[in-house]
Structure formats: structure tokens, C-alpha cells
Chains A and B, each alone.
Chain A
Amino acid sequence: MSIQDIFFYILAAVIVLSALRMVTSRSIFHSAAFLAVVLSLVGGLYLLMQAEFLAAVQILVYVGAVVILIIFAIMLTSQIGNLGQSQSNKLSLPAVAACLLFLAVLVPMLVKHPWDQPAVVGANPSTSSGLVAGATNIQNIGTALMTTFTFPFELVSLALLVALVGAIVIARKDPEA
């Protein structure tokens, strides 16, 4: 029982509680605040798994950009007067049942599976080409993105460009109207 294990349980408890509050909260604005909490603490989990660069990206992109975007959308579209109204529809009970069923199937399977056995035949653990011994996590990720993952990297930048143009086209006012 090390200090990392204790940190994991604290982070996990707060993440699950905040996520539950996020989907059940009446005010959509409170939901956005709880989403920010969940996303920051998931960044903490990345730190526990020694993915420092990913933790920084998580905080910068998710908490810094996506949550701000969501709060802007809430403020642009909020109707005054229905703040106290229930935010969930009539599907609550079936949805709870379905999610519990999903967990009841998945969790025992995850717990019982012998994860320590060698990987399946054909799996290639030596995909670490370009990994420099003694280099930091950030250096290794930069090298991997520019060597092994060049094509997905460029593809993602193209997707970002398309999303940027698409968001502007969708959200602008119709010039004819």
C-alpha cells in the first residue's frame, strides 16, 4: 500500500462522484463545473501512470479549451425561466438499469481476466521504435509522433482544419436571411 495507491483511490472516488453529479445535476452550469473537475482529475490519473505530457495536454485542451467552449455554448443558448426544471427525461430508470447491467457484465470479466499472461500471438510489443533510452517522456512522444505516427498525425491536423471550417460555416448567420 504505497502513496500512489492511496492517491489513485482518492482520485477515483472524486472522479466517480463528480461524474455522477455531472449527469444528474439540475443546472447545466453546475454540470459544466463538475465536468471540469472530472477532466482535471483524469489528468491526475495520467500523472500517476507516468504520462506527464498527456496530463499537461489534458489540462490545456480539455479544461482550458473544451470546458470554456461548453460554458460559452451554455451562456449563448440558456433560456431564462426553466432553470429549476428537471434536466433528465423519462428514460432515467431504464437507463440506470441498462448501465448497471452493462457494469454487471463487464466488471467481473475485467476482474477475472488473467492480465499478467503473455500477450496474444501476433501482438508485437516492440512497437517502441525510436524510443531513446534515458530520454524524457516528452522527447519520446515527440519522436514517436514524427516517425511512427506521422500519417495519423497529419490526418488529425487535417481533421482539425475541417472541423474549424465546418464549425464556422455551421454557426455563422445566413447571409441571405
Chain B
Amino acid sequence: MSLFPVGLEHYLVLSAILFAVGIFGVVTRRNAVGVLMSTELILNAVNINFVAFNHFRHPAALAGQAFAIFVITLAAAEASVGMALVVSIFRSRRSVEIEDVNILKW
């Protein structure tokens, strides 16, 4: 892979790095809000893949961009429900740390 010109591989590698960073954030964050923010990173990596395949492989089609729009919509819905859950957990347990939320643990 050469550095120039920028092609599909470069976007895919960038997206893979972003995905790995997002996974790292989901696994290591203690704050529930931080975990939700890291999932946004993962969804963005997926969107970059969608648009890159659309642009480099099928420039005449629009399926990649349309699906990226659907992913953005669902990410917004997921964020709103997730934040509502965080606020609700904070109200009952006075904490948003993942380790303190263990009522389902036996």
C-alpha cells in the first residue's frame, strides 16, 4: 500500500483504528456516559466504511450514503435512550460508575 494516492484502503485502515479506539473506550471507561460516547466512535467508524465503499467501489449508487443516514438516525435514538437510562440510574443509585451498577449481579 502506497501512501499516495489515497484510496479505499486508507479509509478502511482509518476506520479500523477508530473502531479499535472505540472498543478500548467501551471496555475501560468507568463512567457510563463515557461508554456511550465510545459507542458513538464505533458507529462513526462503520459510517466511514459505508461511505468509503460507496465512493470508491460503486460511485453511481447511493446505498452506502443512505445506510449511513439510517445509522446516524439510529445512533441519535440510541444516545437519547442511553442518556435517559444514565439519568435514571443516577437518580436511584447516586452514581454513574459502571462498577456501582450491580443489582443484576448475583
Contacts and interface: CB of A to CB of B under 8 A. Distances in A.
A20 to B, nearest CB: 6
- The B interface, classified by DSSP as helix, strand, loop or mixed, is helix
A141 B64 CA distance: 10
A127 B22 CA distance: 32
Which of A69, A86, A113, A126 has most B Cβ within 10 Å?
A69
A66 B73 contact: no
A105 to B, nearest CB: 10
B101 interface: no
A95 B20 CA distance: 10
Given A87-B31, A159-B77, A77 B41 contact: no
A142 to B, nearest CB: 10
Interface in B64-98: 65-66, 68-70, 72-81, 83-88, 90-91, 94-96, 98
7 contacts: A12-B10, A16-B14, A32-B37, A51-B55, A66-B76, A128-B58, A167-B80
